[in-house]
Amino acid sequence: MKKFYAVIAILAITFGNIGLSSARQSQQGKAPVESVAGVFDYYLLTLSWSPTFCLTHKDDVQCSGKGYGFVLHGLWPQYAKGGWPESCPPMVALSPAERTQGLTLFPTPKLLEHEWSKHGTCSGLGATGYLDAADKAVGAVKVPEQLQPFSGTHYFTAQKISDLFRESNPGIPADGIAVLCSGPELSEVRVCMGKDLAFGACGKGVKTQCRAGDIRVPPSR
């Protein structure tokens, strides 16, 4: 009888631990996918509204009276089911020539280095290939006239901003763009593109994140 109870106790502990492990896995979500260069589904082109960034980064080089409107934040490889690869090996530093090329696209050296190491390395294109792709992606998106740099504060709904971009870029599908805000201000516009840099639908988790009603679009600095 003692042996019987001992077996029951062992089984209870074993299944209890399995249940606890399952619960922990449920809370923590799926194990992260190993990041491999070139293994992704599409790109997310992210354009940052520089005046909003400069509200909280006044000493940044980007905010030294250059009058920026939208600037390239990054070209990010993405998974269609959600998430993205990052910091893919081999981690290779930019050469002086690549850094010079990158600074024609990104507003600051710090942002260039960060974007290359975290996202560019996962493109599988090498630094020059990635920078060429970023250049092509930025060139493919026409910023609406109403959202060019201006000297006074403007107000739009997030839907209106999305509509303006789609009117200026008819190839962007309704589910191929997202508008993001930082509090009440416009922060970013994100456009989804295939590996061939043609406009396409966004994957899971890419969506507009702004409050309802008008959002503030600060003037250029």
Residues recognised as catalytic: 73, 115, 119
Residue of 147, 151, 123, 157 lying closest to 137 (CA atoms): 123
Give the C-alpha separation, 76 to 46, whole Å: 8
Our separate counts of H helices and E strands in the chain read 6, 6
Residue of 76, 68, 60 lying closest to 116 (CA atoms): 76
Q: How many CB atoms lie within 10 A of CB 221?
A: 17
The widest CA-to-CA distance across the chain, in whole angstroms, is 86
Residue of 145, 192, 157, 159 lying closest to 173 (CA atoms): 192
